[in-house]
Amino acid sequence: MTIEENETPTGRTIKVTLIKSPIRSRGEHKETIRSLGLRRLHQSYTLPDNPAVRGMIKSVVQWLKVEEV
C-alpha cells in the first residue's frame, strides 16, 4: 500500500486560502507562502494535514484562512 502525495495516513487534509497580500512581508514569509502552493489572492490549495504543513501555516497564519476538509 502506498500513500499518494496529498494524502496522509489518516486521510485528513487542510484547505488554505491566501486572504492578504504578502508584498510588504519578509522574504522568508513570501517563500513559505509560495511553498504552500499559493500565488494569488483568494487562491485556495488543499494540503495534507501533517506537522510540516502545520508548521509552515503557523509561520504565516496572518495571511491565510485555514479550514479542515
Would you state the pLDDT for residue 9?
A: 61
Does 8 reside within a domain? Answer: no
What pTM was estimated for this model as a whole? 0.81
Does 54 reside within a domain? Answer: yes
Q: Are 37 and 14 in contact (CB under 8 A)?
A: no
Does 50 reside within a domain? Answer: yes
pLDDT digits (tens, 9 = 90+) for 32-47: 999 999 999 999 999 9
Dist. CA 34–CA 49, nearest whole Å: 17
Q: Structurally, how many domains does the chain consist of?
A: 1
Range of the domain at 22: 13-68
pLDDT digits (tens, 9 = 90+) for 15-69: 999 999 999 999 999 999 999 999 999 999 999 999 999 999 999 999 999 999 9
Does 6 reside within a domain? Answer: no
CATH number at residue 55: 3.30.1390.20
* Predicted confidence band of residue 11 (pLDDT cuts 50, 70, 90): confident
Query: Residue 31 contacts by C-beta under 8 Å, 6 or more apart in sequence?
Result: none
